[in-house]
Amino acid sequence: MAAAWIYSLQCDATLDEFLSYLQQNITIVPDNVEDISMQLANATNLFDNSGTNTSLVLTAEIINNIANINSSSPRVTGNVTVTVSNVLNGEDMVLAESYVNGTTTMLIEAFERQLQMVETDSDGIYSQSSENVIVMINDGSPTMLDGFGIATLEVENDDNEDETQTFEEFMVFDSSVQNVQQIVNQSSSLLLYPSQISQNFLSTDSIRIANTVYRRPNLFSSRYYDNINNEFSKYQRRIKRRLVPNTRVISSTLYRNGNEVLTWNRSRGSGNENSTFQQWYLPLQEGGRRAILESSLCSFWNFRADGGRGNWSTDGCRLVSAGSDGMVNCECTHLTNFAVLMDVYDGDSLTETQLLILDAMTFFGCGASILGLLLTILAFSTDSKLRSKRPNHILLGLSTSLTILYVTFLIMALLDSERKKVFLNDVPCTLLAAFMQFSLLSALSWMTVESVLMFYLFVRVFNTAAAATRGFLLKAFAFALGVPLLIVGATYGITTWAGGQYIRKDV
């Protein structure tokens, strides 16, 4: 009787009324979960026109109740997938507002729990494609993981005579057998597992990989980025980049004997092959290779951030490269929901001519400064009279530090020009970063030394000044060179010891 009433209510009631009745009056049990999930999928077809904040909250709660049944029915999972796809057709404002109370995060987490339960076919596969969400589940042994890759390919549907629709489907491949670059060139998104990750598992372990691609990223709204995107100066000019997800969101969750795998021994295997998950993305809004390189942030969705509301984080992820075709290549040391944040606002972007002028000003200014500093060093080094005074020794030390700083900056600017970005190996990149940090700290230290000497020469001008400045130069060199060296070494050592990276090659 209840099911029949639902059918008639769906015809006459608004979406909010139907969902409210379903949530408050129908208890979801194993016997009716398939019917309820189907009704929910049918009702949310109206989400593009009738979806409200209330609709989204009720839909998330119902999906959460469905997931709590732990149904392994492929039909239930298919209905939930269609429902999530329908929700993505809602207005961006509705989805963004629902983020505040954690509704979208609850919806995504419930959806992922349902994918964990679904039964696969005799080949260990479950797949479901909808307008905005595609799902692929793979069950097997740990050896399945080595070089496991999954890509999304665009396919045209000609079933509709009036209009050709484009949708996407998954392609599973083995990177040890197939040409990855060729697949990258054909795909809109791609995720590649490390080649030797199976060494972290027992041969008897049962493995499940749950993969999802959200064609629209608007379920993943961030209050933090919404706030900084709306910051303006007193002249009403945007003062920060407008960073939003500008790629499909790839989600991959790994289960071992029914339990989600969150960590593993990344040192097993050879080099980085066992420690990073590679991703490739085709941006939703194109902005040219330079814009992609400048603004891309390889990120993952941290469900626990912002008090459980979720937020984008870059921890463990970095930009590897961006090809001439616009494909963005990222790598991360963990699994979750991945995407690339980009600055898609171009209201105050600069033209190529303006960028060229700024480049010329930068190189000319730094070059002139370096020339002046070199002449200063040469003059004071070759004239014994100038070398005899303490202030001149300090000036020599400061000039040398500034010269190293400007030269290092110019090298980094040349490697990271607007026309071609060069990605260095870890060793030269680390050396450049260390020289930059050391020379900047050393220059500041020499300025401190100079201010102390001026204090003794102009304030404490009596005998106490002579006593205090005895052996001053030796102390000055020890301070201006030793302290920066100590800080650089400590920074490198602590970040490496903590499992982080001293360098960032994506900036």
Phi, psi dihedrals of residue 51, rounded to the nearest 5°: -70, 130
Mean pLDDT of 347-375: 81
Residue pair 17/60 in contact (Cβ under 8 Å)? The answer is no
pLDDT tens for 437-450 read: 999 999 999 999 98
pLDDT tens for 376-426 read: 989 888 887 777 777 888 889 999 999 999 999 988 888 764 445 555 677
Residue 507 lies in a domain: no
Q: Tell me, yes or no, whether 218 and 152 share the same domain.
A: yes
Residue 365 lies in a domain: yes
- Residue 127, pLDDT > 70, answer yes
Residue 393 lies in a domain: yes
Residue 506 lies in a domain: no
Single-letter code of the amino acid located at 327: M
- Residue 498, pLDDT > 80, answer no
Provide the pLDDT for residue 229: 55
Q: Tell me, yes or no, whether 230 and 316 share the same domain.
A: yes
Q: How is residue 42 annotated by DSSP?
A: H
- Count of CB atoms situated within 10 Å of the CB of 102: 18
- Residue 214, pLDDT > 50, answer yes
Range of the domain at 417: 352-497
- Residue 34, pLDDT > 90, answer yes
Q: Tell me, yes or no, whether 470 and 395 share the same domain.
A: yes
**Rounded distance, CA 403 to CA 395, Å?**
12
Domain end point (choices 296, 318, 349) = 349
Distance of CA 168 to the CA centre of its chain: 23
Burial classification of residue 262, based on how many CB atoms lie within 10 Å of its CB (0-12 exposed, 13-18 middle, 19 or more buried) = exposed
Provide the pLDDT for residue 270: 40
Provide the pLDDT for residue 237: 47
CATH number of the domain where residue 315 is located = 2.60.220.50
Whether the model pTM is above 0.75: no
Q: Tell me, yes or no, whether 421 and 475 share the same domain.
A: yes
Write b or e for each residue in 197-229: b if 16 or more Cβ atoms lie within 10 A of its Cβ, otherwise e: bbebbeeeeebbbbbbbbbbbbbbbbeebeeeb
Greatest mean pLDDT range, 115-119, 154-158, 214-218: 115-119
Provide the pLDDT for residue 227: 61
Confidence of residue 71 (pLDDT cuts 50, 70, 90): very high
Q: Cα dist. 370→114, 437, 442, 443 in Å?
A: 62, 18, 16, 14
Mean pLDDT of 495-502: 75
CA neighbours closer than 13 Å in the CB half-sphere of residue 309: 15
pLDDT tens for 55-68 read: 889 999 999 999 99
Provide the pLDDT for residue 2: 47
Provide the pLDDT for residue 232: 46
Greatest mean pLDDT range, 231-245, 342-356, 492-506: 492-506
**Rounded distance, CA 104 to CA 154, Å?**
26
Confidence of residue 468 (pLDDT cuts 50, 70, 90): low
CATH number of the domain where residue 23 is located = 1.25.40
Confidence of residue 289 (pLDDT cuts 50, 70, 90): very low
Q: Tell me, yes or no, whether 94 and 145 share the same domain.
A: no
Mean pLDDT of 101-130: 91
Provide the pLDDT for residue 346: 46
Residue 493 lies in a domain: yes
Greatest mean pLDDT range, 110-119, 172-181, 388-397, 468-477: 110-119
Domain end point (choices 349, 369, 387) = 349
Distance of CA 333 to the CA centre of its chain: 12
Provide the pLDDT for residue 66: 95
Provide the pLDDT for residue 238: 47
Single-letter code of the amino acid located at 74: P
Q: Tell me, yes or no, whether 131 and 202 share the same domain.
A: yes
**Rounded distance, CA 187 to CA 361, Å?**
41
pLDDT tens for 200-209 read: 889 899 999 9
Residue 505 lies in a domain: no
Average confidence score pLDDT of the chain: 80
**Rounded distance, CA 207 to CA 390, Å?**
71
Q: Tell me, yes or no, whether 187 and 334 share the same domain.
A: yes
The H-assigned helical ranges of 13-120 are: 15-25, 33-43, 47-50, 53-68, 74-87, 92-99, 103-117
Confidence of residue 235 (pLDDT cuts 50, 70, 90): very low
Number of domains in the chain: 3
Q: Tell me, yes or no, whether 246 and 371 share the same domain.
A: no
Confidence of residue 257 (pLDDT cuts 50, 70, 90): very high
- Name the token pair of 500: 């982080």
CATH number of the domain where residue 443 is located = 1.20.1070.10
Provide the pLDDT for residue 7: 46
Domain end point (choices 289, 316, 349) = 349
Q: Tell me, yes or no, whether 142 and 37 share the same domain.
A: no
Confidence of residue 342 (pLDDT cuts 50, 70, 90): low
pLDDT tens for 323-337 read: 666 788 888 888 877
Residue 289 lies in a domain: yes
- Residue 239, pLDDT > 50, answer no
Q: Tell me, yes or no, whether 289 and 150 share the same domain.
A: yes
Q: Tell me, yes or no, whether 10 and 150 share the same domain.
A: no
Residue 250 lies in a domain: yes
Q: Tell me, yes or no, whether 129 and 269 share the same domain.
A: yes
